[in-house]
Structure 1
């Protein structure tokens, strides 16, 4: 990446440091002073040799060593200040970027998670952000500190003998060309490495999340092979980066060595004719040797810069991802819970067929409506439109006569509670999971009442620390029925007028189902409820049953009415009760 294309990224990085400009300025000043101590040391070599060794001046023998001590004292103090402030600024930069990325992640549309690897998402926040500091402070430190060192040493060399110094300048075009070629190579390798790290993170996450399936199906060797392949890709990439950087440094050092050899030869020739004193030669040689290290670091910074720029580009691309559309401005302090679907159609991005087509449906306030139908009929998609996880392709959905798109997202979702088959719990206490999202607004007594209404209080009180018991990652220490009841308690505590139940009793044993079903009946009281039914026996008492088929409403009515029609619902009901082992509807 050229400087022209890199500058916008650097400018954006530097904008994060605007509020810390005093610390940043202190860092720059300290590294500049530290850099100037290098030519100062080279400068002291001339009086030390000429005055101390050649002329044997006693005063020079005293003050030059003391001056050298002073130079290194200044160097030590300023280097410490530079290292401390740079580390402090880098820490704040990483923290700020991570906070912004996590906040962005929470506000990304649902479709983003379907289109992108979770491992890539995690690696951006955990890995890429750390690499950004290489583009930020490491490069700035080398550029400023070593740049000032190199320029000041070069100025001193010109002052001593400009003709010899011109030999140094002959290597600059060669070094520049080498840096450009290697920079392009390193840039591509850095981008590849980010994807390899994402793959590794993905495999690691699946190894943890799917460990029971891996054990039962004997997938250990397969997973090990996947991990080895990803790890080898990272290793090979690191070797390629190191080889490219090393080749660049090697060529640069060879050019400098050739220039140094030529300078030493001509300096020795001039010294024979008296044009060069011993002090001049020692000072020139010292400056030349000191110049070697910063030039080496400057040419070697290309690898870190390209890796950091690739990471910064990835981080900023993520931060620039569009969040969930939220153009609604209407506040909704209360709602009656009356939903209306008007000619609603929907298709997932890049999908060939329409999932929902011309849905017209009204759900009255306080009514319980069940959605049934075969897999892929559009039940879950339909309820996903209510909290605006997705936007309709055409038509509109209204709540109390107000289009959902006109309501602020936070207000809309404040009035919705969900309980699904795949319960999501957090690695926290029982109380924190029940009060999730409203822990600062509810009392301990309200949490207990919600747990009691969800038929969860008995097993909670039997736990080692009751409500304060840690339940593990996603409630791993609880049974399926217990996890469901905690989710119901969470919905009860929210007390939202709109309730969505997505197969909330499926995959439970008979006893757990009875407890969960009783808790759901408590939850559904006086609420507008939409139930996606897995077992038709659980929704026979619903006010209305909507039968969906291929994205359309095929039938609707009460259980008795639909059975009397002897249509699709009656066939589904007959099939399920005749062959309960055959599977889900």
Structure 2
């Protein structure tokens, strides 16, 4: 997809136009309108001969009447064809952008978590918002210029050949020279366009981080640092834009110089032939008009290279995203409702860029309804285990089974319908409270939504909001406190009623009062569910059926809270450390 050659460009272009197959009737109307509009120019030039010879030289009154009327009719036809072309091409370009954006968004929903680990959100967003818009430059701006001006050029050249083929040969000398210039500059422009898209993605990334982290920026005085980051990207875009314009302008200027030299030579020889009687005044005027009219479409065609290369570079970016393989879903089996038995059989996992295994030979059997707590220092593999259960990642080796069925034998939809998650970083949507609780179940009744909110200790604060359950909560729930956001996430998990629950640091960022309310909601949520709890705050997992202590991806201790304290091992050391820190906060 990165081949800048003609074959590579044509493959991109052919694929791009393939998305217009459904609208082929409108496309044909557009092309026909282009042809009609472009045909009017050589017809206008051809009217100069009868107008000059018949109207002015021979002074024929009928010619003086019909040629002006013919010119008016010609431009009326041109205006109608141009309007039809502009309207239909704009309609088609809008459809193309919408269709590509839909495909890209659907692809984003299908991409594995690992893709987002390796690609900045700014670049991904830039592809959907900016690159896909530039694709229409390659789609329609270029088609309009190439088809419309191409037919105009062919028509005008045909008229020139008919009028005087010897003079016309001089015009053809410049064609290969112009072609070489277009090819050389085209490669340069494609390279610059790729760089421009990279800088655009980086700028979008900085903008997103600045908006999301504006409180941290204010407190830590990061204004100058973020401004520098932004300006590096913005300046890169500026420099590339200047380079693109310079390359395109140099190509256009050189082409115009070649054309002007050819035009000067033609005018000279046409004048010589007219002086010897081999050329009538009408022939000369028709030839000269066609030559002058030839200059404008030729200029547009030579200048279209920048637009084409920018559009094709954008198309490369769009198709690169569309061609990324989606999540592997080779499973064929489904579960109506799992009992909740989980088995980890010598599971090993290493991240693509990891220097060592994040999980190493992890084996564990979890009974239905059992609460398992995973503890350990950062990097011990706790969150990785939690991410392997819903198959955000697949084990490097080993196997995980649900109710005796290997996870990769289940369809992703069936597997994930058995799981609810509550994370430390709650994700909420800029919608109503009710919509966030019922996310994934738009048919949930208001009674079920309220019941879930009550079970999550959220009903009271929701009722106190301006519009109750119909209150919009802002981007990611910014209008809510941390505890309120957590309780909405718990209500969402309660409403889903999944047999397996994953709690990843669900209370670590809360104050004591909020933690008490959230912990009460979590205890309600955990009833009769197989639960994996990841926690740094050990006081929240004392009631767990089993506590699994991890270090460097390995299980080093297993037992209840009391058993592990009595064992006086790693867990007891962690517990004493936290208890001492809590008792002596200063």
**Would you call these one fold, judging by a TM-score over 0.5?**
yes
Q: C-alpha offsets along residues 28-57 of structure 1, whole Å, 9 cap, x if unaligned? A: 011001100000000100000011111110
Aligned residue for 1:499?
Answer: 501
In the alignment, structure 1 residue 525 sits paired with structure 2 residue 542 = no
Deviation at 1:582?
A: 8.7
Kept after mapping to 2: 8 A contact 1:576/1:582: no
Q: What per-residue deviation string (whole Å, max 9, x for no partner) do you get for residues 245-282 of structure 1? A: 00000000000000000000000000011111110011
What's 2:402 paired with? 399
Corresponding position: 1:88 with 2:91? yes
> Could you give the per-residue CA deviations for residues 137-161 of structure 1, whole angstroms, max 9, x where no partner exists?
1111111110000011000000000
Distance 1:582 1:407 in 2: 49
Separation in 1, partners of 2:222, 2:243: 32
Any idea what the Cα deviations from partners look like across 1:512-548, whole Å, max 9, x if unmatched?
0110000001100111111112211111111111111
User: Is residue 2:292 matched to residue 1:284?
Assistant: no
2:315 to 296, 312, 316: 312
Residue in structure 1 matching 2:482, options 480, 483, 486: 480
Contact in 2 for aligned 1:342/1:397 (Cα 8 Å):
yes
1:16 aligns with 2:19: yes
Aligned counterparts, 1:396-435, within 5 A: 396-435=399-438
CA–CA separation in structure 1 for the residues paired with 2:171 and 2:461:
80
Partner of 1:117: 120
Q: Residue 575 of structure 2 aligns with which residue?
A: 573
Partner of 2:536: 534
Taking structure 2 as the reference length, what is the TM-score of the superposition? 0.98
* 1:204-223 superposed matches below 5 A: 204-223=207-226
State the match for 1:137 in structure 2. Answer: 140
Provide the residue aligned with 2:363 in structure 1: 360
The aligned counterpart of 2:37 is: 34
Q: Tell me the CA shift for residue 580 of structure 1.
A: 2.3
Q: Does 1:512 align with 2:528?
A: no
Q: Contact conserved, 1:377 with 1:550, CA < 8 A, in 2?
A: yes
Unaligned runs of 5+ in 2: none
Counterparts of 1:7 and 1:391, CA distance in 2: 38
The alignment status of 1:3 with 2:17, answered yes or no, reads no
Partner of 1:519: helix, strand, or coil?
helix
CA deviation profile, 1:434-484 (whole Å, cap 9, x unmatched): 001111x21011101110100000000000000011111111111000000
Distance in 2, matches of 1:339 and 1:252, equals: 72
Give CA-to-partner distance per residue, 1:345-401, whole Å, 9 cap, x none: 010002110111111101100111111111111000011100000000100000000
Structure 2 CA distance for aligned equivalents of residues 556 and 381 of structure 1: 18
Match of 1:466 in 2: 468
Give the structure 2 partner of residue 563 of structure 1: 565
Whole-angstrom CA distance in 2 between matches of 1:272 and 1:550: 96
Per mean C-alpha deviation after superposition, the further-off stretch among 337-346 and 570-579 is 570-579
Q: Equivalents in 2 of 1:222, 1:370: separation in Å? A: 41
Q: Which of residues 321, 324, 328 is equivalent to 1:321?
A: 324
2:177 counterpart of 1:174: yes
CA RMSD after TM alignment: 1.0
Name the counterpart of 2:454.
Answer: 452
**Could you state the TM-score of these two structures normalised by the residue count of structure 1?**
0.98
Tell me if structure 2 keeps the 8 A contact 1:423–1:483: yes
Q: Tell me, what secondary structure is at the counterpart of 2:339?
A: coil
Q: Name the count of aligned residue pairs.
A: 582
CA distance in 2 between counterparts of 1:140 and 1:581 reads 74
CA contact (8 A) 1:385 1:392 kept: yes
